Amino acid sequence: MAKSFYHIGFGADDLSDPRPTLAFLSGDPDRAHMIAATHFSDVVKLSEHRGLNSYVGWLPNGRRAISATSGMGAPSLSIVVNELVQVGVRTIIRIGTCGSIQEHVLPGSVVITKAALCRQGAAEDIAPTEYPASGDPFVTVALAAAAHKLHVTAHVGITASVDTFYEGQERTESANPILLRRMQGITAEYRALNVLNYEMESGTLFKMGNVYGFAAGCVCAVIAQRTASEQVVMDAKDAAVDAAIRVALEAAQDLA
């Protein structure tokens, strides 16, 4: 009997030959669908189980790929990635959104994460704290080269990958305005360490890649400028997300 994984809703036997070894991973299920509908041909819906939408289709270069949803945060991502690797995926490019913590990293641009300052509980179950959360160098270089080719403003550097959107990113405009002492001033500390941005998945993805033996990369659309405001810059969001998608897709052409 063919095995279908409980969370992603499909198994290796649901993937006809040639079986895809590349996956684009988005937190937002609508983004995963849009990538497949807009940029793939001969798209097949694999599953929309539990809101973890996934689709398979053909890239313009003749390579098959999956566009899948990771859900929000590292625990959800860790489940999806584990099951994607079990069905044969060997390269994963995360296409996400993020908030900048540097003045020169502006909304509308993208951040290509070469390594993450990983402050995530899910990652602790995979490898020790001091284990490097680093992206695959070939995927990272391909993303940077794609941004250059497409004339997309891109920043390559270190990301703070944390578990919570509010407290963990030192947001006080929330239901909990009182931060733990260890969170107070942490953004300024990270800024001084040349960390570019906050997001919530890349650290665990990178540790999984290094432990499991697959190639992982991450490109995030900058949709907030935390040196100016905690709010998402809606006027820049769509263009930034489109740029991140185009960079990931172009990089995939070179990786083939």
Q: Which residues are catalytic?
A: 7, 83, 171, 226
The torsion of the CA quartet 161, 166, 167, 169, rounded to 10 degrees, works out to: 40
Amino acid of residue 141: V
In the DSSP assignment, the letter for residue 130 is T
Rounded to an integer, what distance in angstroms lies between the CA atom of residue 5 and that of residue 62? 27
Rounded to an integer, what distance in angstroms lies between the CA atom of residue 163 and that of residue 169? 9
* Residue 250, both tokens: 């172009």
End-to-end CA separation in angstroms for the chain: 33
* Residue 209, both tokens: 């890649």
Phi-psi region of 97 (alpha: psi -120 to 50; beta: other; left: phi over 0): beta
The interaxial angle of helices 234-255 and 137-150, nearest 10 deg, is 120
Rounded to an integer, what distance in angstroms lies between the CA atom of residue 196 and that of residue 113? 9
Contact 136, 217 (CB under 8 A): yes
Burial of 154 (0-12, 13-18, 19+ CB in 10 A): buried
